[in-house]
Structures are given as C-alpha cells and as structure tokens.
C-alpha cells in the first residue's frame, strides 16, 4: 500500500537536521528549517487513505520512504507506531526517534535530512521537483 506526495525544492533547503526530514505544504522556507526537504507539497498526512494510516499504526509495520529528485533516488526505512494520527494538514515528518506528534508519518528511520544524497539536496536547493513515495508493509 502506498501514498505519493509531490513537492519541490527551495533555495533554503539545507537538509542538515540529524534526526528528521520533512515535506510541507507551505510555499516558503527559512534557513532555520534545516529538516525540510520539500515545499508546496500537494498532499499532507490528513489526506492519506484510512487503510494506509491503519497499516502504519502497526508497530511491526515497515515503512519505506523513497525520495526521487532529478533521476536520483534515496530510500529511507522506518517503522510504524500505534500513536500515529496522520492529522496534520500541513507537514509530514519522518523521525529517527520514536517521538510522535500529528505531523509524524514514520519513526525509527535509518536516515534523517543530513544523511540524504548531497547531489539530491543540491538539486532541491535549486528548486527541483521531489516525489516522496511512502510504502507500508
């Protein structure tokens, strides 16, 4: 089961955060937003299908997040959590920790913003298109 989010990069994409990465529906980004890798997302967690959300609430669920930018791809592997709400109408956050709030879509990730392919990050800083695919098993 999967969900797909389309966004774009922004000149302030730095992807320097060490424990999260985020895609937001906002159309702006300040240099302080060092976890944000995409803006103007066409969907937020609140838009995701109920069956997908339920599957992600299983603590045994494996969630693979694939970021595609300019022909480059990076997979991040994470887990589900029973407290995931997918209520945010603004942002989707992937965390290396087990912290959960309404923006969290996956926990226990094996990568954060700082771990992403640097050529991909450079393309995002130039405004490249981003496709984020979330697949749950």
| Band of pLDDT at residue 28, cut at 50, 70 and 90 | very high
Q: Which residues lie below 8 Å from residue 118, measured CB to CB, with a gap of 6+? A: none
Per-residue pLDDT of 65-122, as tens digits, reads: 999 999 999 999 999 999 999 999 999 999 999 999 999 999 999 999 999 999 999 9
SS3 call for 20: strand
SS3 call for 119: helix
To the question of pTM greater than 0.75 for the whole model, the response is: yes
- Confidence (pLDDT) at 110: 98
Q: Do the bridges between strand 20-24 and strand 36-38 make them parallel or antiparallel, or are there none, so unpaired?
A: parallel
Q: What is the mean pLDDT of the chain?
A: 97
Is 2-136 CATH 2.40.40.20? no
Domains of the chain, by residue range, sit at 2-136
Count the neighbouring beta carbons within 10 Å of the beta carbon of residue 22.
24
- Confidence (pLDDT) at 101: 98
Q: What are phi and psi of 123, to 5 degrees?
A: -65, -40
């Amino acid at each position: 089961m999967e969900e797909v989010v389309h966004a774009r990069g922004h000149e302030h994409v730095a992807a320097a955060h060490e424990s999260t990465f985020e895609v937001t529906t906002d159309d702006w980004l300040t240099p302080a937003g060092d976890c944000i890798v995409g803006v103007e997302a066409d969907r937020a967690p609140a838009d995701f299908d109920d069956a997908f959300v339920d599957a992600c609430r299983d603590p045994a669920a494996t969630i693979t997040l694939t970021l595609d930018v300019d022909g480059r791809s990076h997979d991040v592997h994470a887990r589900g959590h029973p407290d995931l709400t997918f209520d945010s109408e603004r942002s989707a956050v992937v965390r290396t920790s087990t912290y959960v709030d309404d923006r969290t879509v996956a926990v226990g990730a094996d990568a954060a913003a700082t771990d992403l392919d640097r050529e991909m990050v450079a393309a995002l800083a130039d405004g490249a298109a981003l496709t984020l695919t979330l697949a749950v098993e």
